[in-house]
Amino acid sequence: MKPYILVEPFCGMAALSFALMGCQPPISWMGSKRGYCRVLMELLGLSRHHPPAAFIWSDTGPNVAALACLSGARGDARDVAGWVWHSAQAYSPVKAGTLQGLYIRTNNKQNISTSQLSANVADITLPRAPEVAAIIRGWKDEEPRALWTRLKAAGWPSLLLPEGSGGRWLGPQSVEEVAAWLWVGGHENPFGNDVKPQFTPEAVGRATWAPPPKEWLADRVATLPTKPPMVACWQGRAEDMRLPERLDGWITYLDPPYSGTTGYKHGGCTRDAVLALARDYDRRGATVAISEAVRLDDALPGWHAVQIDGERVGQKRTFSKQQHEWVTMNRKPVVVPGVQASLFGAR
């Protein structure tokens, strides 16, 4: 399989990307696809033994800024595309143009020498996950509620889109703010989606009330990649994220807010906008897969829709009203989930 770039334009906690890196997202996330990673990989023919050469993540919220810091993101989509092309050139000689349409940021030419390559790769930022984990570990003796209140009051301005900004490519953010945001929980509700926080004195100290154990979170963060994966992160609307014109060989996985369900605090995207984005990526040569609670092949003729409700691994979503889970793709799925035949023949 050729080197490929994975784009998650509605990344949340990027469960699919982390699964392809062989690890898990640092915290839970509303709408996370953690339980569906296995089937998503099968549909797309992906494996953690052949991870993407680079990732591009976008989201409207502070989550993507935290991910940028943890993964050592730097630069924009063109940089990432350039790095991929560089490594293809350096390690497995291929003809220039194999990864078509890539724009080499360094000098705009595709004949880059080894010394230019090492100069370029040398300034790739390292992931800050170990530093974030060390900070969380340092809080181990602090009283949880006081800590939670203090961190929440301090906020995390470096992780939020500056007022009036139409979006930005992210570099590493403040390590302290990333640690604080992760521990406070990322969702305003530090106690998980299914438990409402109760800020009453009686509730303090109750087990169900506790934020994620600090040690647990520090350990989870410490398992994130310490080698630089190639990552670019866009904070802003997916519709505004600029990618190279040609996306041949790229895989785009769209997991937008599901139409008609609880919205996300920092952004939304209409069904029409999602479909327009999917058609545009398709036109530019990318493989496109969209998750939704309904099939979308009526609006995307010739695409393939696969129902994956039964493929979820792990806990069922007891708190969700959502009944179905579909993936609609512009390529034939590589492996389709098996369907259990009825014991007594067709009904």
The contact set with ligand SAM (CB under 6 A) reads 9-15, 29, 31-33, 58-61, 237-238, 255-257, 264, 266-269
Strand ranges (E), 177-312: 231-235, 250-254, 287-292, 304-307
CB of 47: closest distance to ligand SAM in angstroms?
A: 18
CB of 299: closest distance to ligand SAM in angstroms?
A: 18
Q: What angle do CA 24, 27, 30 make, to 5 degrees?
A: 105
CB of 291: closest distance to ligand SAM in angstroms?
A: 7
Contact 172, 72 (CB under 8 A): yes
Q: Which is nearer to ligand SAM, 20 or 180 (CB)?
A: 20
CB of 71: closest distance to ligand SAM in angstroms?
A: 14
Instruction: Give exposure, 161-199, as e/b (b: 16+ Cβ within 10 Å).
Output: beeeeebebbebbbbebbbbbbbbbbbeebbbbeeebee
CB of 294: closest distance to ligand SAM in angstroms?
A: 14
Closest CA relative to residue 52, chosen from 309, 335, 287, 256: 287
The closest residue (CB) to ligand SAM is: 12
Q: Which is nearer to ligand SAM, 307 or 320 (CB)?
A: 320
Pairing of strands 326-329, 287-292: antiparallel
Q: Which is nearer to ligand SAM, 150 or 312 (CB)?
A: 312
Q: Which is nearer to ligand SAM, 9 or 75 (CB)?
A: 9
Pairing of strands 304-307, 287-292: unpaired
Q: Which is nearer to ligand SAM, 139 or 292 (CB)?
A: 292
H-helix or E-strand containing 142? none
